[in-house]
């Protein structure tokens, strides 16, 4: 879907006691310099076009690709977001398979984003 236009930036997660970076959260960004570079605009456009599941998958792909390129490997952990609205097309077993099948020494935690959680809280 993205043709490489979706990319990830990585926010460090720091151990407060030691100050060491222990993980990174992959944050999606659209094409540089466009309105869609902002994730709120990117996800709103995907929702409006019925392409949220495809965007969500492209974001995971970009996160894995970027983490490998930047050598964010074990013992570091990579947090990858999943939109709650795509859980119908990406059930829990599929999400666990994504984390288990991450390339190389990439340790992955799949995180359900806070957007739209109130619409389907029982599924968590």
- Say whether 29 sits in a helix, a strand or coil: strand
Read off φ and ψ for residue 93, nearest 5 degrees.
Answer: -60, -40
Q: Say how far apart CA 120 and CA 29 lie, in whole Å.
A: 26
Burial of residue 122 (CB within 10 Å: 0-12, 13-18, 19+) is exposed
Residue 52 reports pLDDT greater than 70: yes
Nearest partner of 8 among 44, 76, 55, judged by Cα: 55
Render pLDDT for 54-89 as a digit per residue (tens, 0 to 9): 999 899 889 988 998 998 988 999 999 888 777 766
Which pTM does this prediction carry?
Answer: 0.81
Supply the pLDDT for residue 38.
Answer: 95
Burial of residue 67 (CB within 10 Å: 0-12, 13-18, 19+) is buried
Average pLDDT over residues 107-122: 72
- Angle at 38 (CA atoms; ends 44, 58), nearest 5 degrees: 70
Give the whole-number percent of the chain exceeding pLDDT 70: 77
Greater pLDDT, 92 or 59: 59
Longest pairwise C-alpha distance within the chain: 45
Which domains, ranges and CATH numbers included, belong to the chain? Answer: 7-72+81-123 (3.20.20.450)
């Amino acid at each position: 879907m993205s043709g490489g236009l979706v990319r990830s930036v990585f926010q460090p997660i720091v151990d407060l006691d030691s100050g060491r970076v222990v993980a990174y959260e992959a944050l999606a960004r659209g094409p540089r310099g466009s309105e869609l570079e902002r994730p709120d605009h990117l996800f709103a456009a995907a929702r409006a076009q019925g392409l949220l599941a495809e965007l969500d998958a492209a974001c995971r792909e970009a996160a894995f690709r970027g983490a490998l390129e930047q050598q964010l490997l074990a013992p570091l952990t990579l947090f990858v977001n999943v939109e709650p609205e795509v859980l119908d097309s990406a059930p829990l077993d599929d999400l666990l398979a994504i984390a288990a099948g991450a390339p190389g020494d990439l340790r992955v935690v799949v995180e359900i984003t806070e957007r739209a959680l109130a619409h389907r809280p029982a599924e968590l």
